[in-house]
Amino acid sequence: MRLDDLAARVGARVSGDGATAVSHVATLENAGSGAITFLANSRYRSKLATTRAAAVIVAPEEATSTPLPKLIDKNPYATFAKVAAILHPIKRPAPAIHRTAQIDATAYVAHTASIGAYAVIGAQATIGERAVVGAHCVVGESVALGDDVVLYPGAILYPRTVVGARSTIHGGAVIGADGFGMAEEDGRWIRIPQIGRVVIGADVEVGANTTIDRGAIDDTIIGDDVKLDNQIQIGHNCVIGSHTAIAGCVGIAGSTRIGRNCRIGGAAMISGHLEIADGTTIAGATTVYDSIREPATYSGVFPMLVYGEWKRVAAHVRRLRVLFERVRALERKRTDNDRA
């Protein structure tokens, strides 16, 4: 594809030979003939000087850093994402229903949808236009899949789950399983029926082996354009605001409400019944015990140290409460002396 054609499609400005042909994307180090690459971090500017790419994507302030033909945009990483999607489109299967698929007679499957081998579609389910249900997927009773939804092989959607248009559910994900609701009586646990649903908005991505529990009474809700990485656990009755991105191995306990445009780093743990303000960033491996009312970047991870030093610092941290009480006692004594 010509560079100027790409520019028109992604809204970037061309500098240099717009007729330059590019066929694929590559890193600065490994780019060769026909490749287009990008510079989004000035730390890698030295690699820009030696790249063998046919063209590059840069920010305006980096436009003079290379003589190569280029696309210029204030957000080169986002432009790269758009270019990569154009040059490497996802291949979708042709509309068809595999002969081994099991589809209940009361289900509706659009004529433009694709249903893979051994997929199971339950009663009253609805499969939208151009939707793809991969091999061995289970789509439960009364599930609704919007137009252009993609379920990768092995995804499981429990009954009454709703998935909005253009959303993607990767393999091994389980959507709508029972929430962990138990009541204790005389030392034994009584299961609380989980009668809510999972409602997923449009343009959502759910990573491989991620689990989203259905609500106990109300619904678990995932807003539009939420991006969930692999192996995330979202408990019952949670609400995840639109445009929030959550990295792998995060655990979110039940009835927590996370705002819009939040970013949560990998392996963060969030307790239940909390509220996280719009625009909050939580660093990886941070444990959140209390609600966050003001948007900011929060981190609860102690910096990495050599093990012996870490043990010494940890010992001091454990003594902080005692030291605090001693300082407070000294302040009180000084105040009493001043009054005397």
- What string of DSSP letters covers 143-154? -EE-TT-EE-TT
DSSP 281: E
Packing angle of the helix pair 307-318, 320-339 (nearest 10 deg): 40
The residue written with tokens 């994507």 in the block is: 57
pLDDT (tens digit, 9 = 90+) per residue, 228-282? 999 999 999 999 999 999 999 999 999 999 999 999 999 999 999 999 999 999 9
- Write the pLDDT tens digit of every residue in 271-298: 999 999 999 999 999 999 999 999 999 9
- For residue 337, the model assigns a pLDDT of 81
Average pLDDT, the chain: 96
Mean pLDDT of 171-182: 96
The two tokens of residue 44 are: 């890698």
- What pLDDT is attached to residue 312? 92
| DSSP structure string for 4-69 | HHHHHHHTPEEES-TT-B--EE--TTT--TTEEEE--SGGGHHHHTT---SEEEE-GGGGGG--S-
The answer to whether the CB of 176 falls within 8 A of the CB of 237 is no
Helices and strands (DSSP H and E) totals, the chain: 5, 37
Q: What DSSP element (H or E) covers 288?
A: strand 287-288
Local confidence band at 157 (pLDDT 50, 70, 90 cut-offs): very high
Which tokens belong to 96? 């068809």
pLDDT tens track for 86-127: 999 999 999 999 999 999 999 999 999 999 999 999 999 999
Q: What pLDDT does 80 receive? A: 97
- Measured CA to CA, the distance from residue 182 to residue 234 in angstroms comes to 17
Distance CA 306, CA 115 (A): 53
Please name the residue ranges forming H helices in 164-288: none
28, pLDDT greater than 80: yes
| Residues with catalytic function | 236
CB 129 within 8 A of CB 150: no
Alpha-carbon torsion (31, 36, 41, 45), positive or negative? positive
Name residue 107's beta-bridge partners: none
pLDDT band at 141 (very low <50, low <70, confident <90, very high): very high
pLDDT digit string (tens) for 1-15? 999 999 999 999 999
| Cα–Cα separations (whole angstroms), residue 151 to 80, 159, 171, 175, 308 | 26, 15, 7, 11, 48
- What is the C-alpha to C-alpha distance for residues 274 and 259, in angstroms, rounded to an integer? 11
Cα-Cα-Cα-Cα torsion 226, 229, 231, 235, nearest 10 degrees, comes to -20
